[in-house]
Amino acid sequence: MSLRLSLVGLAAGLAFAAASPVLAAEAGPKPPAQSWSFSGPFGKFDQAQLQRGFKVAKEVCASCHAMSLIRFRNLSQPGGPGFTPSQVAALAATYTNIKDGPNESGEMFERPGRPADAFPAPFPNEQAARAANGGAYPPPIDMLAKARTYTRGFPTFIFDIFTQYQENGPDYIVALLTGYKDPPKDFPPLLPGQNYNTYMPGHLIAMPKPLNDGQVEYPKGPDGKSPVPETVEQYAKDVTAFMMWMAEPHLEARKRLGFQVMLFLALFAGLLYFTKKKIWSRLPEHASTH
Amino acid sequence: MSGHSTYQPKTGIERWLDARLPIVRLMHDSAVSYPVPRNLNLLWTFGGILVFMLVAQIITGVILAMHYTPNATMAFNSVEHIMRDVNFGWLLRYLHSNGASMFFVAVYIHIFRGLYYGSYKAPREVLWILGVIIFLLMMATAFMGYVLPWGQMSFWGATVITNLFSALPVIGETIVTFLWGGYSVDNPTLNRFFSLHFLLPFMIAGVVVLHIWALHHVGQNNPTGVEVKDVKKDTVPFTPYATIKDLFGMVCFMLVFAWFVFYQPNFMGHADNYIPANPASTPAHIVPEWYFLPFYAILRAIPDKLGGVIAMGGAIVILAFLPWIDTSKVKSMTYRPIARQFFWMFVLVCIGLGYLGAMPADEPYVTLSRILTVMYFGYFVALALIGIFERPAQLPTSIADSVLGGSGARLAHATASEPQAKG
């Protein structure tokens, strides 16, 4: 027991003593700030962008990454990509091998997907995912927009309270998805399964460059062309917006209610201020000022 | 300071109840006619704000507990279930997690207010010590609450902090095993932390009752630090004067609270806690919640583990001895020209330690942490010494004098016509 305790202690000690300077030293450049439709106090998701982002996520990301916190029905709920319930039901039904059961004879069986089902994961478990990806685990992407960040530093993080900057995660993800470059000349040679990325801490990432120009076909406008370019930059922004929605599906409702609450509290505070002044003016030390 | 009760039961039912259980009288005496110094500034509203925060945390927490699952394999997803599927679950959860932070914002302002105006001095020593106990209970509650979402920071924060107890000689490892319910942070740890996280707020509420009882027995301190000499001249009835002022302060505080809940709900959290706990993968940088950072910096400043734990614990426990450490008879720093400068230095030291607690254990941060740790404890040494030679400024003769600049006679006449019990 004593050995175990010291080992855990050692691990914990190493964690905050040794690993953090490594991170600090190897952290990449700061991701550039993108403009997001969902930033700021009145932010809303861009439905067309979420639909495009969902297409990228489904056709590219979902072959390795799970997004099982999302259920098909979420895709038609308010504040989301705005698919219709029938579109969602049709989409769910295209997944024909949803495992269910046991049935009356005690057998597990497969059936087509329903809107209430979670988005099927590409691998049954982490070990299977690692085995298929050269030992690296593709993390679920449903929470990633909130689970990734970068250091803002002093005093920027204080200004962020007032500017409401909180898109650290999305900015980092866009930078990462578009940050695949050839390593600099003095960089140690890459091993098999390693890729160079400008924005990954330590620059080594197991995920190969996931997006390429023209890889995903976007819905066409009336002129027969996609209204947005089919480029890596656009794919990265769209899929990241979709990831932000997956991480925070009630973001629009939160900001909308927030404005109402702030307005109410500000008015209430104003009324209380004058009520307080009125009541305290009965006292002689305040009477002279009225 | 309560004096005799001014409660007059008006209806038959009130008279009947008053003869059997004088609960209405108790409420009247403590929230209506209770005399408060007339010169309290807005910093005195934070006591009321803290009561509001405790109640808000208990209400949101009890509802969250209806939807949360304290199991190592299900806890993370049950929090996401609250965020996604429970009606207004995102609001409850963000109110509760940001509420913890705002609770600490309020308690730190409350503590520094007490430090500045000497609210710990006689006859308020017990009141102050009860406050230190509440602060310790709050820290335990907040720490265990942060473990419940079972993210990476929950798990590794719990591992680092519970491990600190293993530094204690003889009993240390037994305590750690007892905290863990096994030989590492795991499902039994999560279960007992959930249970204790539910229990402790009610213990806080109990100590808060004692805190308020002590307060109402000795009466409030005030910005001059001069005790109430004449209740008629120096005080006003709690209702409506303090009630409306507290309410105004509370709503202003709620504006700040709402800003974070609705617009920056994850600002005070850590991104890594949105990654499910994984005992096999240590995060690059384990940091506690912001309100523990100054104490975390003190812990890491001492090269020896046991020494660090003692310093960190001592940094809190020393507050309880402050009434006897500070040798000055003058309460308010307003009249203490030298001590006042040390006070503001102490505030900066605490903020600096908070910043260093968030930095990696690397140079120059380690050296700076050591310097600031010495300065932190140096403040208490300074208070012991300054009181001996400092020449305080002239104190006002009474609270009424400080408000009206000496024309106490006019004041006395005016207040005599003021009905004592309002509302």
Residue B67: inside a domain: yes
Question: Is there a single domain that holds both residue B76 and residue B117?
Answer: yes
Domain span at residue B384 reads 293-392
Query: Rounded CA gap, A187 and A180, in Å?
Result: 14
Question: Is there a single domain that holds both residue B142 and residue B184?
Answer: yes
Residue B10: inside a domain: no
Give yes or no for A217 touching B (CB within 8 A). Answer: no
Q: Give me the pLDDT at residue A287, please.
A: 56
For residue A154, the chain B residues in CB contact (below 8 A) are 355
Could you tell me if B98 and B260 are in contact, meaning their C-beta atoms sit under 8 angstroms apart? Answer: yes
Q: Give me the pLDDT at residue B363, please.
A: 87
Give yes or no for A255 touching B (CB within 8 A). Answer: yes
Neighbours of B411 (CB within 10 A): 23
Q: Give me the pLDDT at residue B414, please.
A: 42
For residue A118, the chain B residues in CB contact (below 8 A) are none
Comparing C-alpha atoms, which of A233, A244, A246 is closest to residue A176? A233
Question: Is there a single domain that holds both residue B203 and residue B107?
Answer: yes
Q: Do B284 and A280 touch (CB under 8 A)?
A: no
Question: Is there a single domain that holds both residue B119 and residue B82?
Answer: yes
In this predicted structure, the answer to whether residue A21 has a pLDDT above a threshold of 90 is no
Tell me the whole-structure pTM to 2 decimals: 0.91
Residue among A5, A39, A152, A271 with most chain B CBs within 10 A, to mutate: A5
What tokens does B363 get? 């140079």
Verify cis geometry, omega within 30 degrees of 0, for the bond prior to A81: no
Question: Is there a single domain that holds both residue B160 and residue B278?
Answer: yes
Q: Do A285 and B271 touch (CB under 8 A)?
A: no
In this predicted structure, the answer to whether residue A268 has a pLDDT above a threshold of 70 is yes
Give yes or no for B355 touching A (CB within 8 A). Answer: yes
Query: Rounded CA gap, B405 and B252, in Å?
Result: 30
Q: Do A5 and B176 touch (CB under 8 A)?
A: yes
Kindly report which listed range (A2-11, A21-30, B184-193, B331-340) carries the lowest average pLDDT score: A2-11
Residue B106: inside a domain: yes
Residues 3-22 of A with CB under 8 A from B: 4-5, 8-9, 11-12, 14-17, 19-22
Q: Give me the pLDDT at residue B3, please.
A: 58
Question: Is there a single domain that holds both residue B268 and residue B144?
Answer: yes
For residue B245, the chain A residues in CB contact (below 8 A) are 276, 280
Q: How far is B262 from chain A (nearest CA, A)?
A: 5
Residue B21: inside a domain: no
Residue among B94, B262, B302, B368 with most chain A CBs within 10 A, to mutate: B262
Residue stretches of chain B with pLDDT short of 70: 1-3, 406-423
Q: Report the number of distinct structural domains present in chain B.
A: 2
Residue B217: inside a domain: yes
CA distances (Å), origin A119, targets A61, A85, A133, A211, B151: 13, 15, 20, 21, 22
Question: Is there a single domain that holds both residue B205 and residue B174?
Answer: yes
Q: What is the CATH number of the domain that holds B233?
A: 1.20.810.10
Q: Do B274 and A24 touch (CB under 8 A)?
A: no
Q: What is the mean pLDDT of chain A?
A: 90
Give yes or no for B181 touching A (CB within 8 A). Answer: no
Q: Do B163 and A9 touch (CB under 8 A)?
A: yes
**Which tens digit of pLDDT belongs to each residue from A110-135?**
999 999 999 999 999 999 999 999 99
Which residue is closest to B163 within chain A, CA to CA?
A9
Give yes or no for B252 touching A (CB within 8 A). Answer: yes
Residue B397: inside a domain: no
Q: Do B282 and A275 touch (CB under 8 A)?
A: no
Comparing C-alpha atoms, which of B260, B270, B322 is closest to residue B293? B270
Comparing C-alpha atoms, which of A82, A65, A80, A177 is closest to residue A119? A65
Mean pLDDT (whole number) for A67-72: 96
Question: Is there a single domain that holds both residue B242 and residue B324?
Answer: no
Question: Is there a single domain that holds both residue B359 and residue B231?
Answer: no
Give yes or no for B80 touching A (CB within 8 A). Answer: yes
Residue B13: inside a domain: no
Q: Give me the pLDDT at residue B5, please.
A: 87
Q: Give me the pLDDT at residue A34, please.
A: 96
β-strand pairing of B35-37 with A204-205: unpaired
Q: What is the CATH number of the domain that holds B374?
A: 1.10.287
Question: Is there a single domain that holds both residue B75 and residue B196?
Answer: yes
Question: Is there a single domain that holds both residue B237 and residue B180?
Answer: yes
Question: Is there a single domain that holds both residue B109 and residue B221?
Answer: yes
**Which tens digit of pLDDT belongs to each residue from A167-222?**
999 999 999 999 999 999 999 999 989 999 999 999 999 999 999 999 999 999 89
Q: How far is B28 from chain A (nearest CA, A)?
A: 19
Helix or strand (DSSP H, E) at A121: none
Give yes or no for B411 touching A (CB within 8 A). Answer: yes
Of the residues B286, B317, B344, the one at which a domain ends? B286
Query: Rounded CA gap, B40 and B333, in Å?
Result: 15
Neighbours of B225 (CB within 10 A): 23
**Which tens digit of pLDDT belongs to each residue from B91-105?**
999 999 999 999 999
For residue A247, the chain B residues in CB contact (below 8 A) are 274
What tokens does A38 get? 């969902």
What tokens does B262 get? 């609705």
Give yes or no for A234 touching B (CB within 8 A). Answer: no
**Which tens digit of pLDDT belongs to each residue from A145-166?**
999 999 998 899 999 999 999 9
Q: How far is B211 from chain A (nearest CA, A)?
A: 27
Of the residues B268, B286, B304, the one at which a domain ends? B286
Q: Do A16 and B177 touch (CB under 8 A)?
A: no
Residues of chain A above pLDDT 90, percent: 83
Give yes or no for B404 touching A (CB within 8 A). Answer: yes
Give yes or no for B410 touching A (CB within 8 A). Answer: yes
Could you tell me if B333 and B343 are in contact, meaning their C-beta atoms sit under 8 angstroms apart? Answer: yes
Residue among B36, B81, B160 with most chain A CBs within 10 A, to mutate: B160
Of B84, B177, B264, the CB nearest to A249: B84
In this predicted structure, the answer to whether residue A17 has a pLDDT above a threshold of 50 is no
In this predicted structure, the answer to whether residue A288 has a pLDDT above a threshold of 80 is no
In this predicted structure, the answer to whether residue A265 has a pLDDT above a threshold of 50 is yes
Residue among B266, B292, B402 with most chain A CBs within 10 A, to mutate: B266
Of the residues B286, B311, B333, the one at which a domain ends? B286
**Which tens digit of pLDDT belongs to each residue from A73-120?**
999 999 999 999 999 999 999 999 999 999 999 999 999 999 999 999
Residue B73: inside a domain: yes
Q: How far is A70 from chain B (nearest CA, A)?
A: 9
Q: Give me the pLDDT at residue B284, please.
A: 87
Query: Rounded CA gap, A232 and B212, in Å?
Result: 62
Query: Rounded CA gap, B419 and B423, in Å?
Result: 11
Q: Do B264 and A166 touch (CB under 8 A)?
A: yes
